Structure 1
Amino acid sequence: MSKTSATPGLGPEYNPLVSPQLEDPHAFLARARREEPVFFSTVLGSWVVTRHADISAVVADTARFSSAESITVGAATTPPEVIHALMDGYPLVPSLVDNDPPAHTRFRSLVSKAFTGRRLTEKEPFIRSLVDELIHTFVQEGQADLFLRFAHPLSSSIIAEILGIPRADISRFRRWSDDLSTVLAAHGPVDHQVACARGVVDFQRYLASALEERKTSPREDLLSDIITEGQAMTPPMSMAELVSLLMQVHFAGHETTAGLIVGAVELLLNNPEQLQALRNDPSLIAGAVEEAVRMTSPVHAMFRTALEQVEIGGVTIPKGAHIRIVYASANRDEARFHEPERFDIRRPDVKKHLAFGQGLHFCVGAPLARLEARLALEALLRHLPGLRLVPGQNPGFLRSVTVRRHESLEVAWDLKAP
């Protein structure tokens, strides 16, 4: 018998943007999978789906579940002051992850070729050089914040290189990414949200200016490809569409990968037997990266909208309902993975995870994320002997409805004799 209403249940307890669930969401999600795998969150105004089988079914069923508003908690929760501030910029129109066919296909075609195997092979020497360059800046210090000094600059610089953004502007892009996270989550004091909305507008204007410049002076970068090919489409892409697309590509291209790298290091350092296995057999690196993707789930969750009344896991969901699909929960589902809480770099069924999505919306940048993480881990283990976590730290996590990553991770290592 299916449930037919948004009964209280676990819903009032679920708030992934505050402590303790911000720091450790998995205890609550495991409880939800056992007790109420589909429930209504009164905080988010969304139905929450936690089991692997149910999430996989939702993602695969594009006829009944729309990807519109897949990265926001919904326009109804955005304060009017924030909406007013955003009106000074371009409309936040659907583009890549928050779109449905056939429009989604148009957007994906503009960026997919930037992440092909051939393009990534061409970028690998640059990535290797950048990894070593960043490590060289702190290797003699014996301790560093791995997120601020390595993972975030690495992923930011790589996506900047692909887009064609000067490295000198990367610090501005980090601030704008944080602003975008706040606006999408509609979280925090209204005056702070308004300030972040103004930052989003600055972000849009920067991208629009860069695209206009590429119209007359194209280069070998994604900005040039997007403006040239976008204008050649029928109908041509508007500036609002292109700017929204670039904001998504930039945000996804560095926030999630930085989170993956830092999360992978933390997992390895907290599981010394797995770290030693990797040191003994470097060919296990691909499995280590994939298992880290499963356990960290940098894209923690996304949303769908029910296009008709549907039933998920025995629960009736009304037409028009917003649905939060929690990939991080699916990736630790006991019904799909053996001992899902155990970090195992030899896990045979690891690629059943949903951390990169599935089907139509499978992450276009997944090959790049895997490459960055592999090269980063190899270099860190090679250059930083005795790598270990600094005890007693409180790393903190980004407040986002979609992305989960550390805000810092302090590590130490043994200095080599001069």
Structure 2
Amino acid sequence: MSKTNAPSGLGSEYHPLDSPQLENPHPFLARARSEEPVFFSPALGAWVVTRHADISAVVADTTRFSSAESITVGAATTPPEVVTALMDGYPLVPSLVDNDPPAHGRFRSLVSKAFTGRRLAEKEPFIRTLVDALIHSFRHERQADLFLRFAHPLSCSIIAEILGIPSSDIHRFRRWSDELSTVLAAHGPIEHQVACAQGVVEFQRYLASTLKEREVSPREDLLSDIVTGAQGMTPPMSMAELVSLLMQVHFAGHETTAGLIVGAVELLLEHPEQLRALRDDPGLIAGAVEEAVRMISPVHAMFRTALEAVEIGGVPIPKGAHIRIVYASANRDEARFHEPERFDIRRPEVKKHLAFGQGLHFCIGAPLARLEARLAVEALLRSLPGLRLVPGQKPGFLRSVTVRRHESLEVAWDVQANQAL
């Protein structure tokens, strides 16, 4: 039996898309860091890397490790029925996250100016207004699902504003995001995967139609910037490349941030001493958000492909092997962080985390995610007195090989007389 097919002790136990690891992956990942920090997972057909130092080394080495399949388990796992359904749309070609130099730079240059400090400062009033409007829509109800009523519509509306998507179309984007997650994870009944693939095709056609519209009538938005920039490239980018880029920007721009907001609130409500410290000193909000990013790791993991035979943590990895780098594990590595399981909004070494990646593929939207989370948490704590978790709930989690976020989180609060008006 070859090394890549031989299930190790931990490898045979690794099922990140199933309970109980889906709900709480951290006990297993702690075992892995201690007992077998690099192991082969038959379920994923990939080597799994769990320590901060090893993951950092892999991410930094773009010569020996390719990002070409960084958000998929591997094309071989996609059922043929799903492949057939996807053929009705544009091919899912490498663009931003799943690309290597020099092609990666072409895609990054098209979207980078939308996330500069100046552009984000221009959007801050819009974000503040949206945050307040969403809270106002449910604050009299005493209880709400924080993901469905606040975090998801907030992050989705913001990325739509940046892209230039009409607000009337935003409700379609959550379904498309869930369907894209299912296709990328290749998880669930075949019939459901095929239906999701058909939704992905619908998403692609929508984006292509919108891009063609911007070619004729450009506006002050990212879609127009992308069309203009792509036309000036040599060679010009294809529609398939532009559609794949926009799908990634949209997905990453709201799924992960919605997960961060919900997770940050949950952490604060589960740690009343940290919540009190933040209320006493609002200046701690940036540290609270950064610590939440470390603890939650909304981008739970990604993949790399070995371009040559290599060693990771002393373990030989064959050329062509798929490698799962688990950022969530790196961010709780005892060798990097003091008491890593403790939520500490004053943590001095917090920015050593890898939640936004590092180097060439450092998350282009990290400043936006930090801004959204900061404004959201500040407003929720200010506007909802006595904010607390509803006891007894078991919130589900998105089944994704890359993203980890709640599918719901019920919170309650006290309604004051002037709030009910």
TM-score of the superposed pair, with normalisation by structure 1: 0.99
Q: Aligned to 1:305, what secondary structure does the other structure show? A: strand
1:8 Cα deviation from its structure 2 partner: 2.1
Q: State the match for 1:207 in structure 2.
A: 207
Between the aligned partners of 1:233 and 1:313, the Cα distance in structure 2 is 41
Separation of aligned partners in 2, 1:385 and 1:217: 47
How far, CA to CA, are the matches of 1:179 and 1:336 in structure 2? 36
* Structure 2 Cα separation of the partners of residues 302 and 42 of structure 1: 17
CA distance in 2, matches of 1:227, 1:197: 26
Query: What is the CA–CA distance in structure 1 between the aligned matches of 2:269 and 2:105, rounded to whole Å?
Result: 41
Contact 2:7 2:42 in 1 (8 A): no
Distance 1:82 1:366, change over 3 A: same
What secondary structure sits across from 1:311 in the alignment? strand
Q: Distance in 2 between matches of 1:170 and 1:293?
A: 26
Q: Secondary structure at the match of 1:323?
A: strand
Please state how far the C-alpha of 1:231 moved relative to its aligned partner: 1.3
CA–CA separation in structure 2 for the residues paired with 1:305 and 1:261: 31
State the Cα RMSD in Å.
0.9
**What letter is aligned with 2:82?**
V
2 CA distance for matches of 1:160 and 1:108?
19
1:274 maps onto 2:274 in alignment: yes
Give the CA deviation at 1:232: 1.1
Report the TM-score, using the length of structure 2 for normalisation. Answer: 0.98
1:153-201 Cα offsets, whole Å, 9 max, x none, are 0000000000000111111110000000000000000010000000000
Instruction: State the match for 1:318 in structure 2.
Output: 318
TM-aligned CA deviation for residue 348 of structure 1: 0.1
Distance 2:26 2:6 in 1: 23
Write the letter of the residue equivalent to 2:275. L
Q: Which residue of 1 aligns with 2:151?
A: 151
CA displacement 1:314-357 (0-9 Å, x = unmatched): 10000000000000000000000000000000000000000000
Q: Does structure 2 conserve the Cα–Cα contact (< 8 Å) formed by 1:4 and 1:316?
A: no
Deviation at 1:417, TM superposition (A): 1.7
Q: How does 1:15-414 map to 2 (within 5 A)?
A: 15-414=15-414
Whichever residue aligns with residue 173 of structure 2, its letter is F
Counterpart contact for 2:4–2:40, Cα < 8 Å: no
> What amino acid maps onto 1:325 in structure 2?
I
3-state SS of the aligned residue for 2:144?
Answer: strand
Name the count of aligned residue pairs.
Answer: 416
Deviations 1:381-418 (A, max 9, x none): 00000000000001100000000000000000010123
Q: 1:64-111 CA deviation, whole Å, 9 max, x = no partner?
A: 000011000000000000000000000000000000000000000000
Q: Deviations over 1:179-230 (max 9, x none)?
A: 0000000000001000000000000000000000000100000110101110
- Whether the 8 Å CA contact 2:68–2:99 is kept in 1: the answer is yes
CA contact (8 A) 1:96 1:245 kept: yes
Displacement of 1:6 after TM fit?
4.1
For 1:147 and 1:374, how far apart are their aligned partners in 2? 16
- The change in CA–CA distance for 1:4 and 1:216 in structure 2 (over 3 A counts) is closer
Query: Aligned partners of 2:257, 2:8: CA distance in 1, in Å?
Result: 36
- Contact (CA 8 Å) 1:4, 1:315: kept in 2 or not? no
Query: Deviation string for 1:298-329 (max 9, x for gaps)?
Result: 00000000000000011000000000000000
Q: Cα distance, 1:4 vs. partner? A: 8.8
Q: Give the corresponding residue for 2:415.
A: 415
SS of equivalent residue, structure 2 residue 138:
coil
Per-residue CA deviation, residues 34-56 of structure 1 (Å, 9 max, x unaligned), is 00000000000000000000000
SS in 1 for 2:89: coil
Gaps of 5+ in 2: none
Give the whole-Å Cα distance in 1 for the aligned partners of 2:171 and 2:35: 44
